[in-house]
Amino acid sequence: MKRILITGGAGFIGSHLCERMLEEGNEVICLDNYFTGTKKNIVHLLDNPYFELVRHDITMPYFIEVDEIYNLACPASPVHYQYNPIKTIKTSVMGAINMLGLAKRVKAKILQASTSEVYGDPELHPQPEYYWGNVNPIGPRSCYDEGKRCAETLFMDYHIQNNVNIKIVRIFNTYGPNMNPDDGRVVSNFIVQALKGEDLTIFGNGTQTRSFQFVDDLIEGMIRMMNTPDELTGPVNLGNQNEFTMLELAETIVDLTGSGSGLIFKELPKDDPQQRRPDTTLAKSTLQNWEPKVQLREGLGKTIEYFESVLNQGK
């Protein structure tokens, strides 16, 4: 049995990881400040004697004996990470320093949830890990993008200088149950709007693209990455290669929900990336043939079911 610390464990991805780690017979400490996460995501785990929930902010040091750390704490939706940009960059940078310091002291293996945002508005398509990106250092997204880039630097430097056993995954747009209905990201926005019969808000003309990964595929990739030989540090891309425009996504969600919603067009946020698709060759070759299994309509179906139940509870 391993003892595993999951920061951001009450969030969307973190809650799935907590559940999976417990299922695999580990002890899990879930650490969260509930900025965007909620106890509701992990309340069903509280009776499990191998699960512990700690309210803590990773910008402050935390001391515990653990074997592995998954560092997920950080708001991920543009609306939330831009709400308090200084706090966002502190979470990425000071959080990384605190968690790497902990990993160094207790000799734990540590995985960083990095992001496709390190590629910014990419000029190379699809994006392989060796691409250095096209990021505005002073724009509205910089607190997140540059915070995550700096965290990668810190991970690599702790590895080189202090021999910390690190793993970096660059996560591409991921969706699924346990997303907050007010999260603000496109999949949750469109589904909630469609279920409420409201018009779907397309930013810009809707021709920008993203590649959407269902959360179960990501969790499998993250765990495989954590279990790779020590010399494999990453970064490794984890994402689904099927790329869609926001118009296609909206039409698919209207179709799957059977909603009468229309589309309304709003201003495109500044620095919004025009295209994004992962090159997952490295993940496939290093993570035992890992590749996403859940395709968009199937994953959206499960996510729509989840939001239906959340919205019904709210009635």
Which of 74, 81, 315 shows the shortest CA–CA distance to 184?
Answer: 81
Query: Which has the closest alpha carbon to 49: 16, 15, 22?
Result: 22
Residue 57 near which of ligand UDP, ligand NAD, none (CB within 5-8 Å, type-dependent): ligand NAD
Q: How many other CB atoms are found less than 10 A from the CB of residue 285?
A: 11
What Å distances lie between residue 81 and 14, 78, 113, 205, CA to CA?
17, 5, 15, 24
Which residue(s) pair with 266 in the sheet?
A: 203
Per CB under 6 A, which of residues 139..178 are in contact with ligand UDP?
Answer: 173
Asked if the peptide bond before residue 177 counts as cis, ω within 30 degrees of 0, the response is: no
Give the β-pairing of 263-266 and 109-115. unpaired
- Taking residues 84 to 123 in sequence order and writing x for each that binds ligand NAD by CB under 6 A, - otherwise, the string is -------x---x-----------------x-x--------
Amino acid at the residue 15: S
Number of residues near ligand NAD (by CB under 6 A): 28
Q: Applying CB under 6 A, does 28 fall inside the site for ligand UDP? A: no
Distance of CA 50 to the CA centre of its chain: 24
Catalytic residue among 62, 119, 144, 158: 144
Give the shortest CB-96-to-ligand NAD separation in angstroms. 10
Residue 142: CB minimum distance to ligand UDP, A: 13
Catalytic residue list contains 306? no
Map tokens 């997952």 to a residue.
280
Question: Which residue from 171, 192, 226, 253 is in contact with ligand NAD, where contact means CB under 6 A?
Answer: 171
Taking CB under 6 A as the rule, does residue 112 contact ligand UDP? Answer: no
203 binds ligand UDP (CB under 6 A): yes
Q: Is 202 in the site for ligand UDP (CB under 6 A)?
A: yes
Nearer residue to ligand NAD within complex by CB, 37 or 261: 37
208 binds ligand UDP (CB under 6 A): yes
Compute the distance between CA of residue 207 and CA of residue 244 in angstroms, rounded to an integer. Answer: 9
Task: Considering only the stretches 11-19, 45-53, 200-208, 226-234, report the one whose residues sit in contact with ligand UDP under the rule CB under 6 A.
Answer: 200-208
Name which of residues 42 to 81 contact ligand NAD (CB under 6 A).
57-59, 72-76
What is d(CA 246, CA 207) in angstroms, rounded to the nearest whole number?
Answer: 6
Whole-angstrom distance, CA of residue 155 vs CA of residue 157: 6
Binding segment for ligand UDP (CB under 6 A), chosen from 27-35, 63-71, 196-204, 237-245, is 196-204
Q: Is 14 in the site for ligand NAD (CB under 6 A)?
A: yes
Q: Please, which residues bridge with residue 55 across strands?
A: 32
Q: Is 271 left (phi over 0), alpha (psi -120 to 50) or beta?
A: left
Contact set with ligand UDP (CB under 6 A): 77-78, 173, 185-186, 189, 201-203, 208, 210, 246, 269, 272
